Each structure stands twice: as structure tokens, then as C-alpha cells.
Amino acid sequence: MGLKLNIATTSLLLLLASAAEVSGDIIFYVTKYGARTDGNSDISQALLKAWGDACPCKAPINFVVQGTVMAPVDTSRFRAEAGWITFQQIDQFTLSGDGVFDGQGKIVWGTKCLSSAYCNQLPINLRFNFITNSMVKDITSRDSKQFHINLLGCKNLTFYNIVISAPQESLNTDGIHSGRSSGINITDSTIETGDDCVSIGDGSEQINIQRVTCGPGHGISVGSLGKYCRDPSPWETRGTQLIVTRGTCYQPDHHHLDSPKDMHGAVILSGPPQGKANDVSASPIQGRANDAGRA
């Protein structure tokens, strides 16, 4: 269980992990493990050493980020179809702080994504694999090269007061993508990307979205639920319960759009006949035109 860094991370102002034990909280400051905060140094080894001392996680662990963590611009430093930072197989985990995960994705956005699988090879800012009974709050994901946050096999995971930010021209930069996960709550957050605000894939159950502002891309997207139904595994035959409460989606001025696709507040995509979506409710989703200054 633990933390996986695919590549170097730089420009960390302050980062610490705290593990609670019977005797009280133990705090691990990454700067004490050799991490430098000059904006140019690789802090991945220092972070992994601190994490190694904090885990195996025998008690709830709080990973606090204050400042900015930056991904390398050079995509050759990433393995194909991997994440930039991955948290996996942890129970009672909290990611918090006012920190920013900056994927520095501007250099890779472009029309190439529309005609090839190029974008799918780019790194996702944050991956959460098999995380249970946990929370992500008060953090920002900025300019991811691909999806900002990807969930796989998670259960009872809450996102609260998070900000996801990328400009209108950022293609294939879904805010939060859920796959094979249940009990996912996304509340009181702002998700502004060039693609889906929240995309819900196969095997997703009990997805609750409340007081979330989306735009300038698509809003809530339910699709591809039967895409992976070649094998009769349990998650591939479940339906999806989606509840959206007080969602707000704003659309940009289409006269200034370079993207050929229209933007939508909510989308349910067609797929193979095995896929199904159950108990989808929205009360209400509000749409509004975008201000000229916000596009």
C-alpha cells in the first residue's frame, strides 16, 4: 500500500505526512528528508523516504501539501499510461492542505489529440487506486496533461472544496473520472476544464455530486458503462446510481471556440447493450452563459 511517483516532482514549498498512533500524531516533514524548495530540485526520493517511514499505515494518515508541486514538462520522463502521482491501497487516508498539483500540460494540448491515441498516453495528475474510507479536500489540480483525477476501485471516497483548473483549449482533461468505484462524493468544488467536469465510467455506483460548478467544457458525463463487458466480472454488470444536486454548468461563448464540439451541461453516452445506467437524478442542474472575461 502507499505512494507511487512516476517521475520527478519539483517546486515544493512544504509537504508533510502525519500518521496518528496511540501515543499521538507523528509528523514527517519532507524537507527533513532532503527535499529542497528551490523550484528546480527533484523531491521524489525525499518524499518516498518520508512515506516509507510513515507507512505501512497502521492508523489514519494525513498527507498535507502546502505550496506547489510541479510535474516535468518533458513527456518522455513518464511511462506510457501511468499517472504522475498515485496513491493506492490505503484505508482512512486524507489528502489536504492548500497545495497545488501543477501538471504543466499546456505544451501538450493540441489538435493531435483529436485524431490519435496520443492524449491517452499522457500522465494523469492524480490517481487513486483502491482507496477506501478517505477524503481529498482543499487541494488544487492545475493544467494536467490528461485527466486531472482518476479513480479505480475506490470505495467511500469524498472530494470536498477542491479546485480543478485548466483552460478551454485543454483537450481530454476530464476533471474527475470514476471507474469501478462506489460511494464517491464530490461536493462544494469548482471544476473548470476543457472536457468533462466529472466523467462516470464502467462499474461506478452511488456517485453523489452536490454544489459543484463546472465549465467551460462539458458538465457531468455518464458513458462507456458497457465498454469493458467482454468478461462477466461483477463490476461490469452493475448499474450506476448518480445523484446531482444544485450543480451549475457554464458554457463559453461559442463564437470564440476553436474546438469543433459543442459543450453540454450533462451527457449520457451510448455504448454496448451490456451497459446500463440506473437511478440517475438531477435536482437541479443550472446552465448559464459564460461571461466574456471568464472564457
Q: What is the pLDDT along the chain (295 residues), one digit of tens a residue?
A: 667 765 444 333 334 444 444 446 788 888 888 888 777 778 888 888 888 888 877 788 899 998 888 888 887 777 766 689 999 999 999 999 999 999 999 988 865 666 566 777 789 999 999 999 999 999 999 999 999 999 999 999 999 999 999 999 888 899 999 999 999 999 999 999 988 999 988 888 899 999 999 888 888 888 654 444 443 333 333 445 666 665 566 554 433 333 334 455 555 554 555 555 555 555 555 555 444 333 3
CATH number at residue 243: 2.160.20
Torsion of CA 151, 187, 197, 157, to 10 degrees: 0
Do residues 65 and 34 make contact, with C-beta atoms less than 8 angstroms apart?
A: no
The reported pLDDT for the residue numbered 281 is 54
Separation CA 191–CA 202 (nearest Å): 21
Q: What b/e sequence results for 177-192 when a residue is b if at least 16 CB atoms lie within 10 Å of its CB, and e otherwise?
A: bbbbbbebbbbebbbb
Told to judge if 177 belongs to the known catalytic residues of this protein, a careful annotator would answer no
The pLDDT of residue 198 is: 92
Proportion of the chain in helix, strand, coil states, percent, rounded to 5: 15, 40, 45
Nearest-Å Rg of the Cα atoms of the chain is 19
Tell whether 199 and 83 lie within a shared domain. yes
Domain span including residue 57 = 1-70
φ, ψ of residue 2 in degrees (nearest 5): 145, -145
Together in a domain, 62 and 79: no
Residues 133, 259: one domain? yes
Question: 62 and 3, same structural domain?
Answer: yes
Residue 148's contacts (CB-CB under 8 Å, 6 or more residues apart) are 103, 124, 125, 126, 141, 164, 166, 173, 174, 175, 176, 193
Q: What is the pLDDT of residue 244?
A: 66
Beta strand pairing call for 149-152 and 176-179: parallel
Are 235 and 203 within one domain? yes
- Does an H or E element contain 48, and which? helix 44-54
Contact call for residues 92 and 61 (beta carbons, < 8 A): yes
Shared-domain flag, residues 284 and 236: yes
CA distance 14 to 141: 17
Shared domain check, 92 and 14: no
Judgement on whether residues 109 and 85 belong to the same structural domain of the protein: yes
**Quick one: 18 and 32 in the same domain?**
yes
List the catalytic residue out of 148, 177, 218, 256.
Answer: 218
Closest CA to 145 of 221, 65, 77, 222: 77
What pLDDT score was predicted for residue 155?
98
Lookup: cell for 8: 520527478
